[in-house]
Structure 1
Amino acid sequence: MPLLNLIVILIVIGVLLWLVNTYIPMDSKIKSILNIVVVVAVVIWLLQVFGLLGSLNGITVG
C-alpha cells in the first residue's frame, strides 16, 4: 500500500472520529470507549499493513 494512500486513510479516520465526537451527542464514557476501540483497531490495522503482525484470519470469536 503506497504511503500516500495510508496517510489519506488515517486522515479520513481521524476526521470521521472528530465528527462523531463533535456532532453526535453521547455520554463521555461512551465517547471514550469509542475512541479507544477506534485507536486500537487502527493500530492493529497498521501493524498488519507494515507486516509486523501476522494475519488474523485464523482467529475465531465464539
Structure 2
Amino acid sequence: MPLVNLIVTLVVVGVILWLINNYIPMDGTIKKILNVVVIIIVILWLLSAFGILGDISAVRVG
C-alpha cells in the first residue's frame, strides 16, 4: 500500500473523529470509549499494512 494512501486514510479518519467529537453531542465517557476504539482499530490496521501483524482477517474469535 503506497504511503500516500496511508496518510490520506489517517487524515480522513482523524477529521471524521474530530467532527464527531465536536459536533455530535455525547457524554464524555462515550466519546472517550469511541476515541480509544478508533485508535486501537487504526493501530491494528497500520500494523497489518506494514506487515508486522499479519492478516487480520485470519484471526478468529470464539
Structure 2 gaps, min length 5: none
Matches within 5 A, 1:1-62: 1-62=1-62
Number of equivalenced pairs = 62
Q: Give the structure with the higher percent helix.
A: 2
Opposite residue 23 of structure 2, the aligned amino acid is Y
- Deviation >3 Å, runs of 4+: none
Please give the root-mean-square deviation of Cα atoms over the aligned residues, in Å: 0.9
One-letter amino acid of the counterpart of residue 57, structure 1: S
- 1:58 Cα deviation from its structure 2 partner: 2.6
TM-score by length of 1: 0.93
**Once the two structures are aligned, what percentage of the paired residues are identical?**
60
Partner amino acid, structure 1, of 2:13: I
Structure 1: runs of 5 or more not aligned: none
TM-score, L = length of structure 2 = 0.93
